[in-house]
């Protein structure tokens, strides 16, 4: 029976999670122990046994990629049709569905960044702030809204939470109050407002709550350690008086408490749900024993209550791998060059580039590594897979592929036939085997087409009989689910964005004081959060792990930096020597102005170049959310009355 097969790939504890098809269930476990796997199999088992209808499940994850992977894994397990979304995307879809009927009037415009409105609010209060202060105040307003503190409670809340203030606390509270006033006057909605308003609509309109609760009866939340009070409020509103909720998380991976998230919801789950089934997982299926040992070492030194209460030592299951490599360099260019050289060596040894990642603390660190990888001829992923199916080259390729499928271009039906046909069609759109020189739009276009070519290879490997019609069907299904194929290239990502993911080889770079921990981490709690970020980074590696730092920023730089304090006691006595300087100072590819990684406008202001994006663009991109935003905007523009969102396919909401 298919349902039994779903259980076969699990160990006894994971199996206990999957078999507890009705909540409340809480899984508290370390990185790589199969939490995400356990909930995926649990959903599949519940739907395949018929206990739960797929459309009654709402699985909430924190990133689009995680949501996409969950949907893909469920499809592979034979259980499609489950809603897997981020909190914001789920809320926005519900809100836009109910808006015309229960709120009415002009829908608000959604603002993706607060900074403009904060600047207006400060001006209206006759307060003069620089851009950095305005940005920090915007961060404070976000924190206050996420933790559910109104402007009048803000000063008191700040005192209890011992937050570092960008300006006088009374002034911040005034700007916050004015921000809310202007926001209402201008009919704007910010990200927190989206969740707040959805919860309010459900609370105030019983028939809406009844409809949503009829639609969704089973809730699953991954990465529950990073839930914030506002998200918790929304989740409680969705649940009503039911408790069919399964949460999984790892307190040692709490990395969003600076924005108001709290692991206490995970740690105190049984207090709220006394009859909850609690499962602990300790076997680490992801990483080699060498990586696991280092991860245990880093988190063993962690301080704080959660760390004390939950040691969560990992027990390695995989065979031995190489020892983690610690490297010190004179400057960042030397570090980037050597990381690129080692990444190339791995690729030459047969590790696919997409199974390699370079992870850093702040996005401004990315550029040096991009240049070094480009110079070493290593493909890398420039901007992730955001909005993949909306990229013009992907649209064009899909149209060509549809045409070819209709014309019956795919005469052969073995796997090589599919690969050759897809490559032939893609070459018509400008694809060639070799990546173009340099970076930018041409490079990015090639990456998209290469991802489609790779997808054909993957599909042919899974099913040698697959032909072009099957390939096109897969593309259409993926486009509907916004599930981008993996781009062929080394991933460059921040530690925050790497959460939940894994690679065969991981390079953790720039591990110096001031960057990790970040310079503005001042309180012991903030420093602990930085340590957890390192733990998250280390535990992304399956086999090869490199940790590196540079003593000065640029060649010949006089300011000496110290390796991250978190490495104290962990670095072995002997380290790889810094390679000779060679001609690296000469090497800097000529480039046009650096583009914003969100909107791709050329960046001119130094602060923006440092950030890698326009100051007004969102820091963390969330593909699913941006799509939902686009939907919303489209609806506002078209003044559509009832949008037909896939989220409510059930007859109750027709
Ligand atoms: P994180 O805390 O980083 O989110 P996680 O606990 O969610 O990690 P998963 O991503 O579910 O862990 O699993 C880690 C890796 O181990 C995955 O590659 C997964 O397929 C594999 N894995 C998990 N459980 C098993 C198992 N029982 N047998 C074989 N492989 C497993
Ligand atoms: Mg996970």
Backbone CA torsion sign across 180, 149, 629, 218: negative
Distance CA 138, CA 110 (A): 16
CB atoms inside a 10 Å sphere around CB 633: 13
User: Are residues 208 and 102 in contact, defined by beta-carbon separation less than 8 angstroms?
Assistant: yes
The interface predicted TM-score (ipTM) is 0.99
Q: How far is CA 68 from CA 60, 86, 294, 486, in A?
A: 11, 10, 30, 11
504 lines ligand 1 (CB under 6 A): no
Query: In b/e form, how buried is each residue of 452-471, taking b as 16+ CB within 10 angstroms?
Result: bbbbbbebbeeeeebbbebb
CB atoms inside a 10 Å sphere around CB 275: 8
Q: Which residues contact 478 (CB under 8 A, 6 or more apart)?
A: 389, 484, 485
Distance CA 22, CA 125 (A): 52
With 60 as the cut, is the pLDDT of residue 557 above it? yes
With 70 as the cut, is the pLDDT of residue 284 above it? yes
The model's confidence at residue 141, banded by pLDDT at 50, 70 and 90, is very high
Residue 430 marked ligand-binding = no
Measured in whole angstroms, the distance separating CA 95 from the mean position of its chain's CA atoms is 23
With 90 as the cut, is the pLDDT of residue 231 above it? yes
Residue 409 marked ligand-binding = no
Q: Which of 285, 532, 533 to mutate to test the pocket of ligand 1 (most atoms within 8 A of CB)?
A: 285
pLDDT (tens digit, 9 = 90+) per residue, 595-636?
665 555 567 777 777 666 666 555 544 444 555 555 554 444
User: Are residues 331 and 550 in contact, defined by beta-carbon separation less than 8 angstroms?
Assistant: yes
Residue 586 marked ligand-binding = no
pLDDT (tens digit, 9 = 90+) per residue, 154-167?
988 888 777 778 78
33 Cα–ligand 1 center, Å: 5
- Give the position, in ligand 1's atom list, of the atom nearest the Cα of 38: 11
Q: Give this prediction's pTM.
A: 0.81
Residue 569 marked ligand-binding = no
The residues spanned by each domain of the chain are 2-92+195-281, 115-189, 299-384+488-589, 388-481
pLDDT (tens digit, 9 = 90+) per residue, 289-319?
999 999 998 988 766 666 566 667 889 999 9
pLDDT (tens digit, 9 = 90+) per residue, 183-226?
999 999 999 999 999 999 999 999 999 999 999 999 999 999 99
11 lines ligand 1 (CB under 6 A): yes
**Given this chain, do its domains 2-92+195-281 and 299-384+488-589 carry the same CATH topology?**
yes
Element (H, E) at 381: strand 380-381
For residue 120 the two structure tokens come to 């207006």
Residue 31 marked ligand-binding = yes
Distance CA 626, CA 386 (A): 9
What would the DSSP string read from start to end of 237-260? HHHTT---EEEEE-GGG---GGGT
Measuring from atom 8 of ligand 1, which residue has the nearest CA? Answer: 32
Measuring from atom 14 of ligand 1, which residue has the nearest CA? Answer: 32
41 lines ligand 1 (CB under 6 A): no
Distance CA 213, CA 237 (A): 9
252 lines ligand 1 (CB under 6 A): no
Distance CA 494, CA 491 (A): 10
81 Cα–ligand 2 center, Å: 21
Distance CA 382, CA 385 (A): 9
Distance CA 383, CA 295 (A): 28
What would the DSSP string read from start to end of 25-38? EEEEE-TTSSHHHH
66 Cα–ligand 2 center, Å: 8
The model's confidence at residue 593, banded by pLDDT at 50, 70 and 90, is low
Q: What kind of fold does domain 299-384+488-589 have according to CATH?
A: Rossmann fold (3.40.50)
- Half-sphere exposure in the Cβ direction for 433 (13 Å, CA): 2
Level-2 CATH architecture, domain 2-92+195-281: 3-Layer(aba) Sandwich (3.40)
Q: Measured at the alpha carbon of residue 387, what is the angle toward residues 383 and 389, in degrees to the nearest 5?
A: 120
Distance CA 37, CA 70 (A): 9
Q: Which of 15, 27, 32, 65 to mutate to test the pocket of ligand 1 (most atoms within 8 A of CB)?
A: 32
Residue 104 marked ligand-binding = no
Helices 415-428 and 441-462: angle between axes, nearest 10 degrees: 160
With 80 as the cut, is the pLDDT of residue 263 above it? yes
250 lines ligand 1 (CB under 6 A): yes
Measuring from atom 19 of ligand 1, which residue has the nearest CA? Answer: 34
108 phi/psi in degrees, rounded to 5 = -70, 160
Distance CA 218, CA 134 (A): 41
500 lines ligand 1 (CB under 6 A): yes
């Amino acid at each position: 029976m298919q349902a039994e097969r779903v259980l076969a790939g699990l160990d006894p504890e994971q199996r206990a999670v999957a078999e507890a098809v009705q909540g409340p269930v809480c899984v508290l476990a370390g990185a790589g122990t199969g939490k995400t796997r356990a909930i995926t199999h649990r959903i599949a088992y519940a739907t395949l046994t018929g206990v739960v209808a797929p459309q009654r499940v709402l699985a909430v994850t924190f990133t689009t990629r995680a949501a996409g992977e969950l949907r893909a894994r469920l499809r592979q397990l034979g259980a499609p049709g489950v809603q897997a979304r981020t909190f914001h995307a789920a809320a926005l879809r519900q809100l836009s569905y109910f808006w015309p009927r229960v709120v009415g009037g002009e829908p608000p415009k959604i603002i993706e960044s607060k900074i403009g409105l904060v600047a207006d609010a400060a001006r209206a209060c006759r307060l003069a702030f620089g851009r950095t202060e305005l940005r920090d105040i915007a961060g404070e307003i976000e924190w206050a809204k996420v933790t559910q503190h109104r402007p009048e409670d803000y000063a008191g809340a700040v005192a209890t939470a011992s937050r570092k203030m960008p300006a006088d606390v009374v002034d911040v509270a005034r700007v916050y109050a004015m921000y809310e006033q202007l926001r209402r006057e201008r009919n704007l909605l910010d990200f927190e407002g989206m969740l707040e308003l959805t919860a309010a609509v459900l609370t105030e309109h019983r028939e809406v709550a009844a409809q949503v609760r009829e639609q969704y009866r089973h809730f699953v939340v991954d990465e529950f350690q990073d839930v914030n009070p506002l998200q918790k409020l929304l989740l409680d509103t969705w649940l009503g008086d039911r408790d069919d909720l399964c949460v999984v998380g790892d307190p040692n991976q709490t990395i969003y408490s600076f924005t108001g998230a709290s692991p206490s919801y995970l740690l105190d789950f049984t207090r709220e749900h006394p009859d909850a089934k609690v499962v602990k997982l300790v076997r680490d299926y992801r990483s080699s024993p060498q990586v696991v040992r280092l991860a245990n070492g880093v988190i063993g030194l962690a301080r704080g209550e959660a760390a004390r209460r939950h040691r969560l030592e990992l027990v390695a299951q995989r065979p031995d791998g190489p020892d983690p490599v610690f490297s010190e360099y004179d400057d960042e260019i030397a570090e980037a060059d050597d990381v690129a050289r080692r990444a190339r060596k791995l690729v030459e040894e047969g590790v696919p580039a997409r199974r390699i990642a370079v992870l850093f603390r702040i996005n401004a660190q990315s550029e040096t590594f991009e240049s070094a990888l480009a110079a070493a001829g290593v493909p890398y992923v420039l901007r992730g897979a955001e909005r993949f199916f909306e990229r013009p080259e992907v649209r064009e390729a899909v149209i060509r592929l549809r045409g070819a499928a209709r014309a019956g271009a795919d005469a052969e039906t073995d796997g090589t036939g599919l690969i050759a046909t897809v490559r032939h069609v893609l070459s018509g759109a400008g694809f060639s085997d070799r990546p173009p020189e340099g970076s930018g739009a041409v490079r990015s276009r090639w990456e998209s087409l290469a991802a489609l070519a790779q997808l054909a290879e993957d599909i042919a490997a899974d099913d040698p009989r697959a032909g072009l019609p099957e390939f096109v069907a897969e593309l259409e299904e993926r486009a509907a689910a916004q599930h981008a194929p993996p781009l062929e290239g080394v991933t460059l990502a921040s530690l925050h964005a790497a959460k939940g993911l894994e690679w065969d080889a991981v390079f953790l770079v720039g591990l110096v004081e001031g960057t990790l921990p970040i310079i503005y981490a001042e309180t012991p709690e903030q420093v602990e959060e930085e340590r957890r970020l390192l733990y998250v980074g280390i535990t992304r590696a399956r086999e090869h792990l490199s940790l590196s730092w540079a003593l000065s920023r640029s060649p010949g730089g006089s300011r000496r930096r110290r390796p991250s304090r978190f490495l104290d006691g962990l670095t072995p006595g002997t380290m790889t020597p810094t390679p000779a300087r060679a001609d690296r100072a000469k090497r800097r590819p000529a480039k046009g102005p650096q583009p914003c990684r969100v909107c791709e406008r050329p960046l001119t202001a130094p602060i923006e170049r440092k950030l890698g994006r326009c100051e007004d663009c969102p820091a963390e991109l969330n593909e699913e959310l941006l799509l939902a935003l686009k939907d919303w905007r489209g609806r506002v523009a078209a003044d559509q009355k009832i949008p037909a969102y896939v989220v409510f396919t059930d007859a109750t909401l027709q």
